[in-house]
C-alpha cells in the first residue's frame, strides 16, 4: 500500500494525483493524505507541491468533469476533514476510469468516495454561501473595508472571488481568524492571500472611519424596525442565522 503525503491545498492534492498517475499506481490500493498521521504498513511518499503539475491536473479535471464539478472537488478540499484528499482522489480516479461526461461526476453516489466528496463539497458550499450572506465589513479610515470571520472550511479564496467581483473599486480585506489568513483586495487591483502579521498590525492601527458607527447604528435600527412584532419568531431567526455567524454581524453583536 502506497501513501502519498502532500500539502493541505488544492494544488498539493493535485500534485499528488499527478504523481499517482505518473507512478501507475493501483488507485484502489493507494492513499493520498494531507495529515501527518501514520498508517500501519504504508509505504510513505512525501510529495512537494509543484504548481506546474498541479495546473495540468486542474486543467484536465475542469475539461473532463466540467466547471461545476471541478469547483465541487475544490470545495471538498477546503473542509477540515483529513479523509478529504483520499475521497477526492478516488472520485477523480473513478470518474476518469468510467469516462463520465462533464457535469455527472457526482451523480454516482453508489460509490462511497463519490458520496463522501459530494457531502464534503456540500458542506463547504454551504459555509461559503453563509459567508456571502453574513460577512460584515466595517469601514476603517481612508475607506478601507475590513471583515473577519472564523469559518470551519478554508473557503476564503472563494469568498474573495465573490467580493472582488462585487466591490471592484474598493480597498478591502477579509480575515480568517482561525487560520490566520487574510485576503487583500486593493481597489482596482488583483486580490491575494497573505499571512503577514505586519499587515494585520498595520490594519489594526487604522481606526474606524468617522461615519462607521453612524452607519452601523442606522442598520441596527433598520433591522429592528423591519420586524413585524405580530409575527415574532426568534427560534426561526436563530435557525436561519446560526449563532456562530451572528457574533460577527453588527446587528447581533454587542456594540463595540
Task: List contacts with another protein (CB under 8 A).
Answer: 109-110, 122, 129, 132-139, 142-145, 147, 163-171, 184, 186-189, 192, 194, 196, 198-199, 202, 209-211, 214-215, 217-219, 221-223, 225-237, 239-241, 249-251
Give the shortest CB-95-to-another protein separation in angstroms. 17
Nearer to another protein, 54 or 106 (CB): 106
DSSP per-residue letters across the chain: -EEEE--SSHHHHHHHHHHHHHTT--GGGEEEESS----TT-EEEE----HHHHHHHHHHHHHHHHHHHHHHHHHHTTSS-TTHHHHHHHHHHHHHHTTPPTT-GGG-TTSHHHHHHHHHHHHHHHHHHHHHHH---EEBGGG-EEEEE--SS--HHHHHHHHHHH-TT--EEEEETTTTEEEEE-TTS--EEE--HHHHHHHHHS-B-TTHHHHHHHHHHHHHHHS-GGG--HHHHHHHS-HHHHTTSTTTSPP-
Give the shortest CB-164-to-another protein separation in angstroms. 8
Give the shortest CB-117-to-another protein separation in angstroms. 14
Nearer to another protein, 81 or 144 (CB): 144
Give the shortest CB-77-to-another protein separation in angstroms. 20
Nearer to another protein, 81 or 250 (CB): 250
Nearer to another protein, 65 or 137 (CB): 137
Give the shortest CB-165-to-another protein separation in angstroms. 4
Nearer to another protein, 33 or 136 (CB): 136
Give the shortest CB-234-to-another protein separation in angstroms. 6
Amino acid at each position: 500500500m502506497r501513501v502519498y503525503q502532500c500539502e493541505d491545498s488544492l494544488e498539493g492534492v493535485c500534485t499528488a494525483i499527478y504523481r499517482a498517475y505518473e507512478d501507475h499506481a493501483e488507485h484502489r490500493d493507494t492513499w493520498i493524505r494531507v495529515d501527518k498521521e501514520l498508517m500501519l504498513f504504508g509505504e510513505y511518499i512525501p510529495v512537494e507541491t509543484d504548481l506546474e503539475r498541479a495546473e495540468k491536473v486542474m486543467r484536465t479535471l475542469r475539461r473532463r468533469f466540467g466547471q461545476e464539478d471541478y469547483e465541487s472537488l475544490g470545495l471538498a478540499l477546503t473542509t477540515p476533514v483529513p479523509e478529504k484528499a483520499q475521497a477526492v482522489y478516488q472520485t477523480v480516479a473513478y470518474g476518469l476510469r468510467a469516462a463520465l461526461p462533464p457535469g455527472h461526476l457526482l451523480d454516482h453516489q453508489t460509490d462511497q468516495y463519490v458520496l463522501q466528496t459530494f457531502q464534503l463539497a456540500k458542506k463547504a458550499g454551504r459555509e461559503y454561501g453563509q459567508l456571502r450572506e453574513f460577512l460584515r465589513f466595517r469601514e476603517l479610515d481612508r475607506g478601507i473595508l475590513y471583515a473577519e470571520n472564523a469559518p470551519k472550511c478554508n473557503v476564503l479564496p472563494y469568498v474573495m472571488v465573490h467580493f472582488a467581483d462585487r466591490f471592484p473599486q474598493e480597498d478591502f480585506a477579509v480575515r480568517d481568524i482561525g487560520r490566520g489568513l487574510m485576503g487583500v483586495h486593493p481597489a482596482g487591483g488583483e486580490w491575494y492571500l497573505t499571512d503577514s502579521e505586519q499587515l494585520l498590525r498595520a490594519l489594526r492601527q487604522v481606526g474606524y472611519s468617522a461615519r462607521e458607527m453612524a452607519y452601523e447604528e442606522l442598520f441596527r435600527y433598520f433591522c429592528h424596525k423591519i420586524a413585524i412584532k405580530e409575527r415574532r419568531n426568534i427560534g426561526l431567526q436563530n435557525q436561519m442565522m446560526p449563532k456562530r455567524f451572528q457574533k460577527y454581524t453588527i446587528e447581533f453583536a454587542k456594540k463595540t
